Amino acid sequence: MHVHRFERLWLVGALSLIVLFIGTVTYGAVGAGYGMVDATGGEVDPANTTASENFREPGVYEGSDPNHYDVYVEAQQFLFVPGTNEPIRIPANSTVTFHVTSPDVIHGFEVVGTNINTMAVPGQVATVTAEFDEPDEYGLVCNEYCGSAHHSMEGQLQVVPPAEFDGTGGGNATSGANATSDNMTGGGNTTSTPTATSEVN
Ligand SMILES: [Cu+2]
């Protein structure tokens, strides 16, 4: 059977497109490191978020390992606690797990310029873990429409040199600075590091 040359070209082109599309979808699903908010953070009572074991008094806590910190954030109309009235401060060269929930309506919690971006759903705790290698400042924004002052809902995350880190704050303030401090790795790393500048709005 004779297939005309142009016919064959179209055939090859169309098949290549299909392969390309399947490839990009597969890459987006498994290769790019994105994940859905799942139920691992647990549930809370939105009217009393700290009553449950899954959420603590908002603030920064030392985590299970050295250089690991847990940050509990309440996103509410129209501020992040902590984050808006006082910045979230964490030391550089650390791994941080954010636990985010909302006592009122659905909000967003995005650390601008990184891939840290989750919904804050009333009754649910979203957890996101990221590494911060170098001192920097990031904006926080809410990107789920949450009411009349949604556009003004923003905050700040400060990654400070370990020597300047003045301890964890929150329910139980312990002094968190790690003794060994200045072995900062340079530059880009795996999970969520920071490329863009952190400007808000
Ligand atoms: Cu909002």
- Taking only the tens place, the pLDDT of each residue in 32-53 is 777 766 777 888 888 888 888 8
Cα(27) to ligand 1 centroid in Å equals: 30
The residue with greater pLDDT, 192 or 44, is 44
Q: Distance, CA 108 to ligand 1 centroid (Å)?
A: 6
Q: Encode pLDDT of 102-130 as tens digits.
A: 999 999 999 999 888 999 999 899 998 89
Distance CA(110)–CA(92), nearest Å, equals 19
Within 10 angstroms of residue 17's Cβ, the number of other Cβ atoms is: 10
CA of residue 167 to ligand 1 center, whole Å: 29
The domain defined by 39-183 folds into Immunoglobulin-like (2.60.40)
